[in-house]
Structure 1
Amino acid sequence: MKSIINLCLCAGIALVLTACATPYDTQKHFWSFGEGFETVQIAPNSWQISFVGNTNTDRGLARKYVMRKSAELSQQAGFAYFAFTNEHLDRDSVGQFGVGFEGGHDTLWGSSSTTQETSVLVEVTGLHVKEEHQGSRVYDVNFILSNVDVEG
């Protein structure tokens, strides 16, 4: 009986932890279960930004997060504009979580689920002037920061 209570408690905690979309300010590390942002500067004016969201983070929200993060990094580095030089957006089924226990007399009860993760990987280049950038759309940093709300 105690193991059933522990099982229900663990399932309840897991449900609470996955009930919301991955928050904007999440940095990727061990305790975020691989979800959140990871940013690497790859040149004086360029960054690689990756974001992984949980099942409740759809593609639109993940792209909005990356757009906002790109504008913040560009502004901090003194750029008025930015362009995505490379962008990759996926929604993948990952992992399985399963629980099983024996109910006696060779009966096995179990449950499992597959989760979805939305991931975005972009390369961002900061620009001082708004000009065509190798076929990419050029974004205004101040416009993005004023109009792209990530707080929900």
Structure 2
Amino acid sequence: MTSIKKTFLCAGLALMLSACATSYDTEKQFWSFGKGFETAQIAPDSWQISFVGNTNTDRALARKYVMRKSAELCKQAGYSYFTFTREQTDRDAVGQFGVGKNSSNDILWGSSTMNQETSVMVEVTGLHSKPENTNSRIYDTDYILNNVDVKG
């Protein structure tokens, strides 16, 4: 009976975790089920930022998260402006599967529902000053930090 209680407890916890959009402060790791942020500095003035959200995280919210994270990183590094040198946003269908044993100790596996995952990957470059003539959009770090709210 104890294993049934544990199974229901785990299933309930999984349902509670999946009921809300992935929060801004989530780092991608095993315990976040691969959801959240992952950042890597790729040059002295550039970072690659990726964010994966759950079914309840739409494209607009995911992009807002990445915009805010870009401004935070650039501000911490002393840059007043930034630009995206590469940006990709996807909404993918992802299947979930499970593995278990029955009462005869047979290994069982199967798939369940398809969920949607929103992912955003950008390469962001910090700038000390705003260039006059440019073909790309330049963002002001202070403006983004003061006006892009990521709290629900």
TM-score category of the 2 structures, normalised to the smaller one: 0.7 to 0.9
Matched, 1:50 2:62: no
Write out per-residue CA displacement over residues 56-105 of structure 1, whole angstroms, 9 at most, x where no aligned residue: 10000000000000000000000000000000000001122469999xxx
Structure 1 residue 4 displacement after superposition = 6.5
Write out per-residue CA displacement over residues 32-60 of structure 1, whole angstroms, 9 at most, x where no aligned residue: 11111100001110000000011110000
Structure 1 residue 2 displacement after superposition = 7.6
* Residue pair 1:100, 1:111 contacting (<8 A) in 2 also: no
> Which AA in structure 2 matches 1:70?
S
* Residue pair 1:98, 1:113 contacting (<8 A) in 2 also: no
Residue correspondences, number = 145
Q: 1:40 to 1:111 in 2, by over 3 A?
A: closer
Who is 2:78 aligned against? 78
Matched, 1:61 2:61: yes
Between the aligned partners of 1:125 and 1:82, the Cα distance in structure 2 is 5
Gap regions ≥5 residues in structure 2? 103-109
Between the aligned partners of 2:91 and 2:133, the Cα distance in structure 1 is 28
Gap regions ≥5 residues in structure 1? 103-109
Matched, 1:131 2:131: yes
* Residue pair 1:132, 1:138 contacting (<8 A) in 2 also: no
Matched, 1:113 2:77: no
Structure 1 residue 8 displacement after superposition = 4.3
Who is 1:90 aligned against? 90
Write out per-residue CA displacement over residues 107-140 of structure 1, whole angstroms, 9 at most, x where no aligned residue: xxx9821111100000000001111575210000
SS in 1 for 2:119: strand
Q: 1:100 to 1:27 in 2, by over 3 A?
A: closer
Identity %: 72
Q: 1:133 to 1:43 in 2, by over 3 A?
A: farther
Structure 1 residue 9 displacement after superposition = 4.0
Who is 1:23 aligned against? 23
SS in 2 for 1:69: helix
Who is 1:105 aligned against? none
For normalisation by structure 1, the TM-score amounts to: 0.84
